[in-house]
Amino acid sequence: MEKVQRKQRDKEFITEEGKKLHLIGKFLLKTELLVRDTDGHDSVQLLSVSKDATKILVQGRMSEQFKLGSHIVLYKLLARYVELECEVMEERPNNQFVMNVDAVSIASRERKFARIKPPDGSVWITNLRTSRTTIDANLFNIPTSVKVNFADTERTLKPKYDIIKIDVFNSIGDKFDLVKKTGKILFIPNTQKPESYKSSDPSGFIDYEHELGDEDDVRKKIIEYANQKIKSELIVPVIYINHDEQAIPIGYVHAQNRTREIDLSEVMEIKTLTFDMVDRIRESNTILVKERFPVLDLSTGGLRVKINHPDLNSEIPRRKGFTFDIFFKMQSPITAYGVVRSVAKDMDGNLYIGLSLEGNSARPGEKKRFIDNVNRLLADAGAKVNPN
């Protein structure tokens, strides 16, 4: 099992031979241990341990349960989680296997959320949405869809303004750097009036007078605009919201007029157009997978799923998270955003993804409905119910 842990669980590694032997011999010997990242929570019985605690003999359920040389994790919940990271070294009769014990660890604290394995086929996820191409603030890779949408919108606006340009951010000057840094609009209705450099709405518009410095700096800027024969200027950032719910300023709409002022209604029109552009870019840059993937276990804080899909197996390990719908049998879907906490891959290419649920659903009450469903499963199994 190839495993990548995104967020390392707090755990203590037991390195002293005597302590490892005591832990395994007293608490794990002759007991059932679960096998990490298997469909049905496979288990083995630990039959014996070597005197130096470097080898164990376990009995599985079938001869083909483990492949020689494979790396697996055996675990058991005592007061805290105990894990044995092992390598399969030898297969013996009666479904017995000799394993090297590469590491022994115990969780530093109890799990925050109780886990439950749902009945087979009762909980699954579908409608997975993630990005085809990573769009980040560095803009190292600009998808064709961004350039096409920018060009289409620029053609739409061209008849309305003397100068119009829609492009990605580059190091092209202090005004553009300011818009990119703040994510706010730079709007100067009349470049020849000092009051136009102030902002009545600092939450959405740059106070250019403050950024320039003092009255002398504003006068210099007025003269500069006059020499350029620019009467009105507007720079609106294009803010892309990716599937990791990050707001990334990827470009700008730059409009200038020489003879008439740009009014506030035009500012709002262009801002709305940037939203439309981002929606189209997201749509063309989104992988949507409608297949069902089983939920192997879940808690009120997250879930673990098994995924095997050609478009997802290579993409998900590189992503911070993704959006999907959770289905509890006979119920309407719950839309969620999951942060990838762990990724494991078995020898058949299946991914086992651990997700923590974060962000807000598009529909109110979704998180509560998810927690209520999990608590119902916990109660049915006689486990401790997590408070809402």
Same domain, 279 and 338: no
Predicted pLDDT at 318 = 80
Same domain, 184 and 235: yes
In which domain, by residue range, is 85 found? 2-107
Same domain, 246 and 333: no
* Mean pLDDT along residues 205-224: 94
Of the residues 251, 285, 319, the one at which a domain ends:
285
Same domain, 322 and 269: no
Q: What torsion, rounded to 10 degrees, do the Cα atoms 54, 59, 60, 64 define?
A: 80
Same domain, 36 and 159: no
d(CA 173, CA 180): 11
Tell me the per-residue pLDDT of 295-346, one tens digit each, with 9 for 90 and over.
Answer: 998 988 899 999 999 888 888 888 888 899 999 999 999 999 999 988 888 7
Q: With CA atoms as reference, report the closest residue to 97 among 151, 128, 55, 156.
A: 55
d(CA 1, CA 344): 7
Same domain, 125 and 158: no
Tell me the CATH number at 13: 2.30.110.10
Residue 388 pLDDT > 60, yes or no?
Answer: no
- Residue 207 lies inside a defined structural domain of this protein: yes
Tell me the CATH number at 293: 2.40.10.220
- Using CA of residue 100, residue 102, residue 104, residue 110, what is the dihedral sign? negative
Task: Categorize the per-residue pLDDT at 209 as very low, low, confident or very high, splitting at 50, 70 and 90.
Answer: very high
Q: With CA atoms as reference, report the closest residue to 176 among 136, 235, 217.
A: 235
Tell me the per-residue pLDDT of 160-194, one tens digit each, with 9 for 90 and over.
Answer: 999 999 998 876 668 999 999 999 999 999 999 99
More confident residue, 288 or 80: 288
Same domain, 273 and 291: no
- Residue 329 lies inside a defined structural domain of this protein: yes
- Residue 388 lies inside a defined structural domain of this protein: no
- Residue 25 lies inside a defined structural domain of this protein: yes
Of the residues 254, 285, 316, the one at which a domain ends:
285
- Residue 195 lies inside a defined structural domain of this protein: yes
CB-based contact 101:55 (threshold 8 Å):
yes
Tell me the CATH number at 159: 3.30.450.40
Same domain, 280 and 149: yes
Same domain, 154 and 250: yes
Same domain, 243 and 292: no
CB-based contact 85:94 (threshold 8 Å):
no
Highest average pLDDT, of 2-11, 69-78, 132-141, 219-228, comes from: 219-228
- Residue 387 lies inside a defined structural domain of this protein: no
CB-based contact 369:335 (threshold 8 Å):
no
Same domain, 292 and 281: no
d(CA 114, CA 205): 47
* Mean pLDDT along residues 208-219: 93
d(CA 247, CA 242): 7
Of the residues 253, 270, 285, the one at which a domain ends:
285
Helix (H, G, I), strand (E, B) or coil at 209: helix
CB-based contact 112:16 (threshold 8 Å):
no
Number of domains in the chain: 3
Tell me the per-residue pLDDT of 43-56, one tens digit each, with 9 for 90 and over.
Answer: 899 999 999 999 99
Same domain, 69 and 180: no
